[in-house]
Structure 1
Amino acid sequence: MNSESDIKQDFETALVKHMLFKSKLRSFLYGTQLAEGPVRDADQCGLGIWIQERWQGPLGSVSEWFELDRVHRQLHAEANKLMDMYQQGFQEQAREGLADLLPLTDRVPRLLQTIQDKLRTPR
């Protein structure tokens, strides 16, 4: 994966994985039955798997990988709290908590873009 278009496509895939996580969390909090593992566990999440594969590979030289992983894990920890709240009967409060996640969820695309820009810039 050396060309700029390959990198761009790979990072677009990561962004889709992030959007899928957000969609699954929202769906759960609105009553949809789904496999909880990928929403609860950062290591089962599509984006989490993507992060680990790239970070440990040749793309892992960019310092923001650590921050991306940290934010991603924090996002899952907060999602767990909302899911637990929902399952304990506090559905409305759990849904309201989605708004509190926005600053965190918005950081992921910005970090992905920063990493992508650094990978595309010759060092």
Structure 2
Amino acid sequence: MNAAQSDFQQLRIKLILFKSKVRSAVYGGTPDQEFFSSSGPMGQWFRTIGAVRYSDLPEIGTMSRLYKELVSTANHLISQYRSGKIEEAHEGLKDIDKLAEQLTRLISAVEGRLV
């Protein structure tokens, strides 16, 4: 596995964990506020690996925007859950899945070009 494959595999794993933590939070688990902030693992990846190694790729900007949208959506769903709008929060997980799918497609496209 070359460096690019490893870098993007790390991002995929962080995305899977992100989705899992959102799902847990809207099904009654305690939300990890740090994780859902820009200083969380995915935010760190974009600020370090993404910005340093891949900043010349136009997709990185789009991927970063999708990540920020994921964070915003996750925080909104957690807020809905906390305010008693449980069904709406559960329904909103579809938005998380759509954004994650878009991000995954971009990751695969970039990785495919670099390998």
Normalised by the length of structure 1, the TM-score is: 0.84
Q: Distance in 1 between matches of 2:6 and 2:12?
A: 10
5+ long unaligned stretches in structure 1: none
5+ long unaligned stretches in structure 2: none
1:73 to 65, 68, 77: 68
What is the CA deviation profile of residues 6-52 of structure 1, one whole-angstrom value per residue up to 9, with x for unaligned ones? 2212211110000000000000111112422212x1x1221121112
Pairwise mapping of residues 21-100 of structure 1 onto structure 2 (< 5 A)?
21-39=18-36, 41=37, 43-100=38-95
User: What SS does structure 2 have at the residue aligned with 1:67?
Assistant: helix
Q: Is the 8 A contact 1:64 1:115 kept in 2?
A: yes
Where do 4+ consecutive residues of structure 1 move more than 3 Å?
none
> Do structure 1's residue 109 and structure 2's residue 104 form an aligned pair?
yes
Identical counterparts, % of pairs:
28
Partner of 1:18: 15
Backbone CA RMSD of aligned residues: 1.5
Say how many residue pairs are matched: 115
Normalised by the length of structure 2, the TM-score is: 0.89
Tell me which structure has the larger Cα radius of gyration: 1
